Structure 1
Amino acid sequence: MKLVTSSVKRPVGVIMIVLAIIALGVVSLRNLNVNLMPEIDLPVAVVATSYGDAAPEEVEKLISEPIESSVSSVEGIETVQSQSQAGSSLVVLMFNSGTNLDQALLNVRESVDQVRGVLPENAGDPSILRFNPQQMPIMWVGLTGDEPAKLTQVANDEIVPYFERQSGVASVTVEGAKKREIQLILDQAKLNQYGVTSRSIIEALNNANQSASVGTIEKGNKDLQLRVTGELASVDDIKETIVQTERQATVHVSDLADVRDTYKESDSKTIVNGESAVVLSIMKKTDANTVNVANNVNASMTDMKNDLPAELQTDVIIDTSEYIKMSIQSVVQNIIIGGIISFFILLLFLKSIRATIVIGLSIPIAIISTFTLMYFTGETLNVLTLGGLALGLGMMVDSSIVILEHIYSYRQHGYAMVDAAIKGASELASAVIASTTTTLVVFLPMVFVEGIASDMFTPLALAVSFSLIASLVAAVTLVPMLSSKLLAKATGDSGRRYWFNRFLDKVNNVYRSMLRWVLGHRKTTVFGTVVIIAGSLALIPQIGTSFMPSTDQGKVQVNVQTGPGSSFAHTTDITETVSDKLDTYDAVVETNYLNAGGGGGAMGMGGSSGGSATYRIQLVPAAERDASTSAIVQDMSDDLETVPGAEISVSASNSAAGMGDPIQLSLNGPEHQVLRDLADDVVNTISRIDGVRNAESSAGTGVPQMQIEVDNGKAAQYGLTKQQIISQIRLQFTGRVASTYREDGDEMNVTLMFPKEERSTISDLEDMSIHSPSGATIPLVSLADLNEAQGPVTLQRENQEPQVNITSELAGRNLGRVSSDVEQALDDMAMPDGYTYDMGGQVEDMAESFGQLAVALVFSIFLVYAVMAVQFENALFPFVIMFSLPATVIGVLGGLYVTGLPLSIPAFIGVIMLAGIVVNNSIVLVDYINIVRRKGSDRHEAILEAGPSRLRPILMTTLTTILAMVPLGLALGQGSAMQQPLAITIIFGLSVSSIFTLLLIPVVYTLFDDLTAKFTRR
């Protein structure tokens, strides 16, 4: 080949090109975006709408249903889901994979605009948002050391602006902040005494808090703007605001209310490591590097500490970049270990430092070139792409080994270094290209795989493909050039490694004996192979299936849910008990962040929930603790079961956290109440299944309500409307914003409210009086009936049908086995007519991904056959070679069974990769058998000569590939669990397949040769 000849004769040019590639690769590596996982493209949009304090039933009927109906006709929509809760509606639109989300959002906006006119007047404008799972905080920073009000001021005025100026930071949100408010605590006796209503006070404050431009006048040759100023300039101005009574007298606001400059009442608190705190959550820009942004924020914290008051402390609670850095470091470490192992394997076989260096140089060249290609294709540097490099590490040297072996054969026949390099590399260049192509083509069908499997593993496929292409180019250019300069003599058999040659001779003799036996017992060999494959298939039920491997990120979340309607004070008491029990885990806990109350609704729009609390716990790194996160979660769960008065669930965060719950059931039917009752039965049923943990229903327990049913007839007799009554009740028990007040650039609410002791009990409600427009005072009980009832927390719908979701986590069993038991239990339940269930979450994703990958596997096998048919220009020999594939089933299933790993998406990707890898050894063997036969040997002798002579290169390529993956197979370090199933699949599959290749393929070759001869004679 001209490329080989040019590289050998122009070494300076090759070296300059290599140096340029290295420089470009280093620059690309510095600019690659670093993430933990590849970005998952979920074509999901959200329509969020607020609706005052309306009940979930009203929100569903008046907001959710009209929006659902309007957007359902948008092209590309697969599913429409809605969540209706007190005061807010959330409609989630899931589009088909491949949908142009930008155009889809425009269509959604048009549909929503058409329905705006039928929404209630006091409903908020619908917000249409693109959902991006990557838009999550990358860091949480706690600020402690003073009262919450002071912490809030420092956070808002100093820290937030400073953080947002850092490179890559998109926004910073303050959690647990205190909001300043001017409260007017009304005195009902004074209001009655002066004959003043709350409306009068609101009008007086608004009238006193106005500024406006009223025109212009001339002064000389200039126009003067006329502006009436009258904004409230101080709290004293609020106190002195004049209110006119019904008798046309005047009083001041301070005569009617206690004016307090304080903070808004809050039913939430944040505690970091036992101290009251405010927490800053930091979001990065979409295209920013997570690690770089976190480093910038950490550096800014160090610079900022000198400017903060001495009593304030900033501490990083959770930094997601730490796990990314540890994971990347672990994978790089595994790459280095694998490279060292490959180097020593090559040294052992080649018996030459120079020869080993010639081949070993192809590894760093291939890796650096891969970084360049990844940068220009927009891929990120993450655990999976680096794992792809680690997995392809051993395969990178295969082409170089074959080329170098052939160059050596010419050197041993007396050729000069340059001639041997040119002739040896040129003869096998086409074969090496074909061999590498069989490995590359298995990734082509991944282009047609959609969904999460594609988003997760297309980057891995690209990384492996880039590295193999780069190593192939190095094998046909760099290796011949270096061989022509460095290999002054052919390898000898002397020296301290001569023992290895004797060992290989013994292996060769044993192999030749086994080969003679299988050739003499062909039927027994084939039958035995079939029996072993069938036996391995029997392991499938024992292995089970899973979606994605879980990784030990050391993140634990404890959710505390007290009884329906629980007060914030009661929830706080419960959290104190929980905190005491969690204190026993201080040795393994790095940070503990508690957010009690303020549960919020969908997209943060719902009302707060005083009955919930969440602990976010970051454990110390896995290397610094004896137990895994899963084990610690189980211990915490057992300890917290004894806490009375609350439902407490403990869960661990892992790689699949953003991909739905492991078990997710959707119950659908015409009635919400029936679905809630059915959901309770389902939760009780599946909770008894081994492996199901924290099963819960989205319907939950109804919230206790006091329903006020206004008698419109009686209200009309007093000149009252329903809205006027609602307004007065809301003022009494919630308060009402009367105006706004600005001070030093900050704006705060001026809120009217009654003393807490007058708005706390049922008696306060029953004793409340309503003021009519005529000035009459009517007891509320005369205008309305008061009834206690249970109200729903959230109403859900899917595709315009009521729905309830049931979710569960896993404990001790894999997803496939648990989901099978859950499905069996549900099939045994008697579902009412018209009510059905669907399995979603990771079960649905797993089934969909397995189906698509199975199709990709079939196409990969076909493409491998097609490449070999082109290479051999024969349809029979590739068919013989393909018999090495069934034997991989033995290794794959046996490896998963021995290691206790389920069949997961990474393992399936490993099977697809094996389809292109295992045939390479068969190609080498069958090709050489044909060469020997063409030289005049009979078939039997050709096989006995070709097998042992090809054993050495087959062992070299197989061992470098397998042993380079051992660090990943052992899951050494953080983040390696993601590639472990893939590595185990290839290690065991290739190992077993290589044995069958050396023994079974010669037998199959003879069988097909006999069959061909029989047809030829006919």
Structure 2
Amino acid sequence: MSYIDLAIDRSRSTLMIMGVLVLAGLISRSLLPIANDPHIVLPYFYIGIPHEGISPEDSERLLIQPMEIELRKIEGLKEINATASEGYATIFVEFEPSVDLNAALMDVREAVDRGKSEIPTTAEEPVVRELDVDDFPLIQINLLSAGASERQIYETALSLRDDIESIPSVLSADIRGDREEVLEVIIDPQALEAYQISSESLVSILQRNNRLIPAGSVDTGQGRFSVKVPSVVESASDIMDLPVQVSGDSVVTLSDVATIRRTFKDRTSHARFNGVETMTIEVKKRVDANVIDTSEAVLKVVDEATAGLPSTIRVVPSQNTAEFAQVQVTELQGNIMTALALVMVIVVAAMGFRSGVIVGLGIPVSLLFSIIIIYQLGYTFNFMVMFGMLLGLGMLIDGAIVVTEYADRKMSEGMDHREAYAEAVKRMFWPVTASTATTLAAFLPLIFWPGISGQFMRYLPVTVFTVLTGSLIYALLFGPVLGSIFGKPTVHSAADQKTMEELDHGDPTQLQTITGAYARMMAWITGHPLTTVGTIFTLLFCVFWSYGKFGAGMVFFNDSDPQFISLSVSGRGNFSESEVNDLVLEVERQVLQVADIRSVNTRTILPGSGSGGGRSGGAVNDRIGSIFLELVPEWDRDRDGFAVVRELRERTGNFAGIKVEVSAMEQGPPVGKPVQIELRSRHRELLEPAMLRIHEYMETLPELIDIDDTRALPSIEWRMQVDRAQAALFDADVQAAGVALQLVTNGVKVAEYRPDGADDAVDIRARFPIQDRGIRAMDDCASVRVRGKSP
């Protein structure tokens, strides 16, 4: 007894199994995370090393080179790209695709830990993280001020961030446009001179009086007691009462020579929403999180958290990618349902209602079977999966049609419906299996496509495989069982019955029907094999020749109408924070005049502020601003997104001193700029002239746009030369001169403290008043008293 006889004899059990599969498919669909794009694991790791005030040359020599020595010891390493900039060192590590990335991440962290012992102790803790395509924010929450102070906005943003990060599906919520808190000790240089206190000794006192002292414990014989020395700064008043000098019975405290205030660090960036200053919370989801559900949860938390806010603070969400995902899923699911309905209509019209329904049920069963496998594989429900389902939809009922048609023929000949479907499966098992296998064989190589592109495209063949596998199971198992229960022979007219008899026992070329015309054509083709083969090869050659001659060329991934557009503003030079803001603001004003834009999020970046930059093929960090646009939905505008891109390029292409790159958000796997040229030489001085010549040549090519390079940024640098011998006469050294110089620039970080209600430690920085800072004050910093002597 074959399996089909057993299945038909136990039809209730077979149908129960099919019902369980359908139920499991529906549950899997409800649990399947929805995403815009397939999740791709990138073999890249990012290492960022902040070091305040370090020059690009020192960053390369003291930060990057020691780390590179340790990173090169890792097995499976493919390439290291590093960028040294003012205040920051950035290293991107690429591994071979075959390497276990979890083990690679551990190796990178261990290498960084070893390298930390070789870099200056003044450097901050290195940041190590794995690059992920899901780093793109899911949604942005903008906090706008309508009369509220910066601190009110900041505290509201912190509270809202904590509420959002409490959502299980949220990976992180990062605040942009804010400034770090700092406890500033504003030193009066005249008071220092009056009390004859050196700046270096004052800084040293502040550092020594904010240390955790483990005093230990005392055993008295009647008990053991711990001893505590309260020595850590807990509030601003603890610093104000610190003694800085003792003369006889009089004690000079810090409050006598300085004022203390809790404020924010100097601004290095701005964030704006639709031209208004804002603090923005960028929300990122976890890899396995549902885009739509996570977005709804975030918006719900925002509504609840902001219900009691004062009217001086407005909260506006923007850049909600879940809306785009919802539209995409709805449209593709609608296309699938439309295709299903059309297929059902055609099948029912051609085979009759009863047979058509038996065949048509294979569509939902196969799709739900596919969803079960996709869910078990850990895939998301994205457009590649839906496209695979749509592609397989036209092929999945072929086997069911063949089996049902043959069984219908047998029933018309008088065979019992149970026997007819069993005979149909036995007779058509190998033809149907071979037909499905040949189709699957065409998609099999795509599953083994290597690299990042392979990860992205793999969703398509896997989906087609699962859909067609489900259709094969239905065609050879569930469909025949249904037919054995509900199937009845189709009532044929006398003419149809005569045609079938002639097909079985007569000459089909004599039929005066479409079938007869097809039979006569095949008879002629098989009778002239050389002519047929020659014609086929001629047509094949003409197709390839015509495409090469008149075709539009080839693209890796077709461009779709963009919903999001980004602008990158770059400039080279010694820009101040206000100059950067003004330059980006000019670009923003032009952008706001363009129609069909729903929201505009702008961020300025001060070069050398230690932002580190992002990955852009190794390009140098000369970016001074970025603008991210969300267009109104395509059904609400009269032009496509590419027309908006062209208008933006026309409006922003003629700014003096800056360069604006306009790019639409790309679909498909991340590839960056399509053309990248790397130059290598043991002699660094030879690289920049060669790079300049290549850059100038590429600028002459009209096909290329948005060209950049990694040449060093042109800038003016001030250097203070310390005469060590002369400094020694006044009991001074380079350290003392450095402290004096820092007091007139960014200030000296003397300690940290953690106030109540703060999540992170707050820096304590000593510096001179604003009127005693800047370039002019640098000439006078040498006269600052050092170690009790004035030069």
TM-score (norm 1): 0.70
Q: Tell me the SS of whatever aligns to 1:460.
A: helix
Q: Quick check: 1:176–1:278 contact (8 Å CA) kept in 2?
A: yes
Q: How does 1:625-704 map to 2 (within 5 A)?
A: 625-656=637-668, 658-699=670-711, 701-704=713-716
In 2 relative to 1, CA 261–81 (structure 1 residues): closer, same or farther, beyond 3 Å? Answer: closer
Q: Which residue of 2 aligns with 1:591?
A: 599
In 2 relative to 1, CA 424–345 (structure 1 residues): closer, same or farther, beyond 3 Å? Answer: same
Give 2:581's match in structure 1, choosing from 572, 582, 586.
572
Q: Which residue of 2 aligns with 1:765?
A: 778
Q: Which residue of 2 aligns with 1:361?
A: 361
Q: Which residue of 2 aligns with 1:807?
A: none
Distance in structure 1 (CA, Å) of the matches to 2:614 and 2:628: 22
| Residue type at the aligned position of 1:529 | I
The Cα offsets for residues 813-839 of structure 1, whole Å up to 9 and x where unpaired, read as xxxxxxxxxxxxxxxxxxxxxxxxxxx
In 2 relative to 1, CA 48–494 (structure 1 residues): closer, same or farther, beyond 3 Å? Answer: farther
Unmatched 5+ stretches in structure 1: 496-503, 779-1018
Identity of aligned residues (%): 22
Q: How does 1:341-356 map to 2 (within 5 A)?
A: 341-350=342-351, 352-356=352-356
The Cα offsets for residues 860-879 of structure 1, whole Å up to 9 and x where unpaired, read as xxxxxxxxxxxxxxxxxxxx
The Cα offsets for residues 684-743 of structure 1, whole Å up to 9 and x where unpaired, read as 322332332211113263222223344444444544333332232122211112344554
Give the C-alpha shift of residue 609 in structure 1. Answer: 8.7
Q: Which residue of 1 aligns with 2:508?
A: none
Q: Quick check: 2:89–2:612 contact (8 Å CA) kept in 1?
A: no
| Residue type at the aligned position of 1:300 | V
Give the C-alpha shift of residue 221 in structure 1. Answer: 7.0
Q: How does 1:954-969 map to 2 (within 5 A)?
A: none
Q: Tell me the SS of whatever aligns to 1:131.
A: strand
Q: Is 1:435 equivalent to 2:435 in the alignment?
A: yes
| Residue type at the aligned position of 2:778 | L
| Residue type at the aligned position of 1:413 | E
Q: Quick check: 1:552–1:654 contact (8 Å CA) kept in 2?
A: no
Q: How does 1:70-469 map to 2 (within 5 A)?
A: 70-109=70-109, 111-112=111-112, 115-124=115-124, 126-145=126-145, 146-156=148-158, 158-206=159-207, 214=215, 225-229=226-230, 235=236, 238-244=239-245, 250-350=251-351, 352-469=352-469
Distance in structure 1 (CA, Å) of the matches to 2:194 and 2:113: 50
| Residue type at the aligned position of 2:156 | V
Q: Tell me the SS of whatever aligns to 2:12.
A: helix
Q: Quick check: 1:554–1:619 contact (8 Å CA) kept in 2?
A: yes
| Residue type at the aligned position of 2:583 | I
Distance in structure 1 (CA, Å) of the matches to 2:204 and 2:42: 50
Q: Quick check: 1:359–1:401 contact (8 Å CA) kept in 2?
A: yes
Distance in structure 2 (CA, Å) of the matches to 1:572 and 1:120: 33
Q: Which residue of 1 aligns with 2:738?
A: 726
Q: Which residue of 2 aligns with 1:536?
A: 543
Q: Tell me the SS of whatever aligns to 1:703.
A: coil
Compare 246-255 and 429-438 and name the one that shifted more.
246-255
Give the C-alpha shift of residue 641 in structure 1. Answer: 1.8
Q: Quick check: 1:574–1:645 contact (8 Å CA) kept in 2?
A: no
Q: Which residue of 1 aligns with 2:630?
A: 618
Give the C-alpha shift of residue 535 in structure 1. Answer: 1.9
Q: Quick check: 2:88–2:610 contact (8 Å CA) kept in 1?
A: yes
In 2 relative to 1, CA 184–702 (structure 1 residues): closer, same or farther, beyond 3 Å? Answer: same
Q: Which residue of 2 aligns with 1:819?
A: none
In 2 relative to 1, CA 150–602 (structure 1 residues): closer, same or farther, beyond 3 Å? Answer: closer
Q: Which residue of 2 aligns with 1:556?
A: 565
Give the C-alpha shift of residue 299 in structure 1. Answer: 2.0
Q: Quick check: 1:558–1:615 contact (8 Å CA) kept in 2?
A: yes
In 2 relative to 1, CA 491–7 (structure 1 residues): closer, same or farther, beyond 3 Å? Answer: farther
Q: How does 1:3-42 map to 2 (within 5 A)?
A: 3-42=3-42
In 2 relative to 1, CA 623–310 (structure 1 residues): closer, same or farther, beyond 3 Å? Answer: same
Q: Tell me the SS of whatever aligns to 2:705.
A: strand
TM-score (norm 2): 0.88
In 2 relative to 1, CA 249–674 (structure 1 residues): closer, same or farther, beyond 3 Å? Answer: farther
| Residue type at the aligned position of 2:736 | Q
Give the C-alpha shift of residue 447 in structure 1. Answer: 4.7
Q: Tell me the SS of whatever aligns to 2:133.
A: coil
Q: Tell me the SS of whatever aligns to 1:421.
A: helix
| Residue type at the aligned position of 1:589 | I
Q: Quick check: 1:597–1:610 contact (8 Å CA) kept in 2?
A: no
Q: How does 1:478-517 map to 2 (within 5 A)?
A: 478-492=478-492, 507-508=514-515, 510-512=517-519, 514-515=521-522
Distance in structure 2 (CA, Å) of the matches to 1:739 and 1:675: 42
Give 1:527's match in structure 2, choosing from 526, 534, 541.
534
| Residue type at the aligned position of 1:375 | Y
| Residue type at the aligned position of 2:548 | I
Q: Quick check: 1:195–1:245 contact (8 Å CA) kept in 2?
A: no
Structure 1 or 2: larger helix share? 1
Distance in structure 2 (CA, Å) of the matches to 1:723 and 1:231: 25
Give the C-alpha shift of residue 107 in structure 1. Answer: 4.2
Q: Which residue of 1 aligns with 2:507?
A: none
In 2 relative to 1, CA 230–455 (structure 1 residues): closer, same or farther, beyond 3 Å? Answer: closer
Give the C-alpha shift of residue 389 in structure 1. Answer: 0.9
Q: Tell me the SS of whatever aligns to 1:279.
A: strand
Unmatched 5+ stretches in structure 2: 496-510
Q: Quick check: 1:50–1:605 contact (8 Å CA) kept in 2?
A: no
Q: Tell me the SS of whatever aligns to 2:427.
A: helix
Give the C-alpha shift of residue 451 in structure 1. Answer: 0.8
C-alpha RMSD of the superposition: 3.2
Q: Quick check: 2:175–2:281 contact (8 Å CA) kept in 1?
A: yes
The Cα offsets for residues 545-565 of structure 1, whole Å up to 9 and x where unpaired, read as 222223334111112224411
Q: Tell me the SS of whatever aligns to 2:270.
A: strand
Distance in structure 2 (CA, Å) of the matches to 1:258 and 1:507: 99
Distance in structure 1 (CA, Å) of the matches to 2:119 and 2:646: 48
In 2 relative to 1, CA 249–561 (structure 1 residues): closer, same or farther, beyond 3 Å? Answer: farther
Distance in structure 2 (CA, Å) of the matches to 1:210 and 1:39: 47
Give the C-alpha shift of residue 664 in structure 1. Answer: 1.9
Distance in structure 2 (CA, Å) of the matches to 1:347 and 1:605: 57
In 2 relative to 1, CA 235–449 (structure 1 residues): closer, same or farther, beyond 3 Å? Answer: closer
Distance in structure 2 (CA, Å) of the matches to 1:674 and 1:299: 58
In 2 relative to 1, CA 507–246 (structure 1 residues): closer, same or farther, beyond 3 Å? Answer: farther
